[in-house]
Amino acid sequence: MNISLEKINYSELNTSLIFLYGNDVAARALPFKRDEIAYIESRRKEEKENLVVLNRLPHKIYVQSFDSELPSNEAQEKLRRAAAAIQQGLTKEKEDRVAISGEGIIPEEMVAFLEGLHMANYRFDRYKKKKETVLTEVVVERSFLEAEVLEENLRLWRRIDVLRDWVNEPVINLNAPRFAEMLEEESVKIKGVTCTVLGQRQIETLKMGGLLAVNRGSEDEARFVVLEYKPDNRVNTKAIALVGKGVMYDTGGLNIKPNDYMVEMKSDMAGAATMASALFAAAENRLPVWLKAYLPLTDNRPGKNAYAADDILHMYDGTTVEITNTDAEGRLILADAIAYADGEDPELIIDAATLTGAAVRALGTWVIAAMQEDAEKPFSLLNIVGNQVYERLAPLPFYKEYDELLKSEVADLINCNLHANAGTITAGRFLKHFTSHPYIHLDIAGVAFYGKREHFYGVGASGFGLRLLYAFFQTYDTIGRHGEA
């Protein structure tokens, strides 16, 4: 979708128009007929948030009324969702071009509306013969936005599109070696990004026992990808380590999933895709943060010499882990990656993973289950920006007492709590064992992939979490400098 800024002349429009109406003071400036204004105003008195559709054959005017007096985060989220609803209407009308203007609207509100429109317009339809009509051209009244602001946001939104493409792609076309190649190809396009891909033999040399074990049932080799973006004007003197779960497809291994739980498991690499995309987005917009992403990639299959319950693994850092469930594989590959990142002395480690069904059962599909240890300031900032962009955190307790549920009689740890208690928290506590640095754990199982359309996130891969991390990087300097030169 191409978005451009132009001066809109209402009398010469040859396309449908979306008109955003933000406050009552703007009524005198509405560019409509007297009877249309009267109707719009009567609807607004009944309900401040409503959509009026005016027929101007062969096109339409969509007057989206909203309440600009709401807290900014609520008003902007409602605008994103309103944009998604209008986009669906335009699709039904088979309209591929639209103009956008308004009264009583500030730049941040226009950005929110365009964000919702762009994200709702996304389709993963490369395998369909018959494709839906989507928006290809959007013209925005240029008085509402600076070109630089629009371009920065467009780069972010396009990055979200790529992220969603990766997560939506089936494993038959996107296995671990191919994804590593794509990440390397993408890194070459972006100034300041380096990419290191470790193959099977290098992973074996490093003795990454978790990643190697999960990979044992697969026909495809594992990969371990390290991305780095280190700008000269960085505000942090040590890197922020971004660790992402890259299980390209999860059958559950020998603890094989039932059919209902097997569907959508191509999305089990959303954590790795999100963390790679977060680093790429920061680099594309030259944010002054030093980032490194650590991405362990494999699928989890029950074939060949697959690892089994009761196995004891030797992890990268020397920890031994007794396997109690082969479907708790994500934490095994993440543990090796976290330990590897820990050895490079980062300022902060953040991981993202579609890790536990328990997170979905506890919190639903609207928030990220989040935990932290020794990272109060960055966690607080992440929570603040999450509320602002409406990709919110649900902080969970992270007490050391939960470690009791991970004790083994024959090894240092078990990989999965045998009881149904605190499944999301104990998964996080397992991962915390592998770092001594400030740590934030994000379980995105409930938000990474939607089986039915969810507002502007659409259906399938959502891209949820990238706007959160990007806003965090944008404001990271507010928590002060950390680490050593």
> Annotated active-site positions, please?
257, 331
Q: Contact at 8 Å (CB) between 30 and 103?
A: yes
Query: What is the rounded CA–CA span in Å between residue 225 and residue 218?
Result: 18
Q: DSSP letter at 174? A: -
Q: What are phi and psi of 405, to 5 degrees?
A: -80, -5
Length of the chain: 485
Q: Contact at 8 Å (CB) between 447 and 366?
A: yes
Query: What is the rounded CA–CA span in Å between residue 477 and residue 236?
Result: 8
Q: Contact at 8 Å (CB) between 286 and 475?
A: no
